[in-house]
Structure 1
Amino acid sequence: MKTSTHKKVVKQQVQPESQLATADGKILRVDGLEARTRLLDAALKLFAESGYAKTSTREIAKAANVNISAISYYFADKAGLYRAVFNDPRTNPNVDPAIFEQEDADLRTILTALICTFIDSLKQGELMESCMKLHFREMLEPTGLWVEEIDTAIKPSHLAMVKFLCRYLGISKADDDVHRLAISITGLAISLLISVDVIQAIRPALIAKPKAIDTYASRLVDYALAMCEDEKRRRHIVNIY
């Protein structure tokens, strides 16, 4: 008796056809990663310029030169795309609390990791500028993502940093001055990100090239070290008297 073997054919999910038009009108296919990145970049610029409510998915797809169906495929909907844009690690990196748990790392190493988490995003150029505009717009026209970022990312990393500074200062419990120090150190990097327009008008060479940005980051680490050392010295003097 013969038995017949039935082969199962597994139908793979096909990504939506993403296309872009060349100058001569020809249509070219783009791969999934490229299409997703094009959507993120186009959406960032449009959301930053017009806000979430006034930006349509059709505008975004047109600006990205991809089919509008790609938005639902990669991000589910407009809200999903906005969330992905807002949290894009290329322009909005989160400080990993684990940075401050490296017991064998010295103060400079940890401060460098902290500062560079923010400053390296400057190397994204116009994308970073659009990201800052998007954050300002989110504060003025809130969708809830800024509050969510504070609760889920900024606050945990701040508390981890405060705990680390307590170890450095040799104290068991954080007071207001430790929190001030932590916020001030982070502020060194944040102030640079929000001062891009001013720097470009006054001294553009300071952030014109990746090497210049690395030098700026190194100087900020020096300033942060001085702040930590001064706080330690101040506490020592207070304890003496």
Structure 2
Amino acid sequence: MQGKSRPSARFDPFMADPPETSVTDPTQRLLAAAGPVFAERGFDRATVREIANIADVNVAAVSYYFGDKMGLYRAVITAIREKRERAYPTPVVGKETPQQDLELLIRTLLSRMLAADETGWEAMLMMREMQHPTPAFEGMIRGYFRPLYDALCKTIESLLPPLDAKSSWQTDALVPQLALGVVGQCLHYRIGRPVMAHLISPEVIETHYGLDSLCRQITASTLAACGDQNVIDQHKLLKPSPLNEPQDVSCQQ
């Protein structure tokens, strides 16, 4: 008599393939299975049983290795974060001019946001976490966003003229607003691609919306906002990167 066949999980087209059977480490199998499920369904709707079925492990393995579903979720978020940090580490500012530091920070931020992952679910999960935060959100901010944000604020502050101590907006809000303006521009080129495709011709996108072009534009506009010449003159001073743009970092994805 044939034994019961194990029910197979359904995968949507954008989801990753099931973990390879050659992967014997159950923690890696669970991480590989959990990421796409969390990205598709969100933390609340994802179930430990579905993840365990896809990973081909006993459902109790989640508790054994990760404590609970939130522990597994945190591990998935941490793995994505560490992967991006290895590829695009936070620059150490202060070794170059503030203008050079700013450009390097913006390039790092853009690269992290525009970088494609192999399956598509990583960016989806990170965006879902930002739009619908879970208890893992605070750790993601502290470990992933805060270091780059702090370096950006420090650099922008060094570019500004002396601030009026009598103005609470200048002393308390101006630098964070400028820094978040940079983040907002970078983020738009990640989430605004469908809109851009309808507003701008493919030829212009291909020529002027790659990583290097966007980096120079955002840097130039930020320097101009800090009082360092007008945006057109500043843009002319910024030289294209001598490095070829990575093929997986583009607004055309």
TM-score by length of 1: 0.61
Match of 1:84 among 52, 75, 87: 75
Q: Report sequence identity in percent.
A: 23
Match of 1:55 among 35, 46, 55: 46
Instruction: Tell me, yes or no, if structure 1 residue 115 matches structure 2 residue 101.
Output: no
**Partners in 2 of 1:31 and 1:114 — Cα distance?**
40
- Checking the alignment, whether the CA contact within 8 Å between 1:61 and 1:68 is kept in structure 2 is yes
- Checking the alignment, whether the CA contact within 8 Å between 2:39 and 2:122 is kept in structure 1 is no
- Checking the alignment, whether the CA contact within 8 Å between 1:40 and 1:84 is kept in structure 2 is yes
**Partners in 2 of 1:69 and 1:79 — Cα distance?**
14
Per-residue CA distance 1:64-120 (angstroms, 9 max, x = gap)? 344445534542321111112233216775996x63533235634543344334534
- Checking the alignment, whether the CA contact within 8 Å between 2:84 and 2:112 is kept in structure 1 is no
Q: Which runs of 5+ in 2 are unaligned?
A: 1-19, 231-253
**Partners in 1 of 2:55 and 2:195 — Cα distance?**
30
**Partners in 2 of 1:192 and 1:37 — Cα distance?**
32
- CA drift at 1:29: 3.9
The aligned residue for residue 219 of structure 2 is 225
**Partners in 2 of 1:124 and 1:137 — Cα distance?**
20
Match of 2:153 among 159, 162, 166: 162
AA partner of residue 77 (structure 1): D
Tell me the SS of whatever aligns to 2:45.
Answer: coil
- Checking the alignment, whether the CA contact within 8 Å between 1:161 and 1:182 is kept in structure 2 is yes
Count matched residues. Answer: 200
- CA drift at 1:182: 0.9
AA partner of residue 220 (structure 1): L
AA partner of residue 30 (structure 1): V
The aligned residue for residue 124 of structure 2 is 130
Q: Please provide the CA RMSD for this pair.
A: 4.1
Equivalent residues in 2 for 1:138-157 (5 A)?
138-139=132-133, 143-150=134-141, 153-155=144-146, 157=148
Q: 1:188 to 1:80 in 2, by over 3 A?
A: same
- Checking the alignment, whether the CA contact within 8 Å between 2:35 and 2:76 is kept in structure 1 is yes
- Checking the alignment, whether the CA contact within 8 Å between 1:93 and 1:117 is kept in structure 2 is no
**Partners in 1 of 2:37 and 2:72 — Cα distance?**
12
The aligned residue for residue 94 of structure 2 is 102
AA partner of residue 190 (structure 1): L
Match of 1:43 among 34, 38, 55: 34
Instruction: Tell me, yes or no, if structure 1 residue 30 matches structure 2 residue 23.
Output: yes
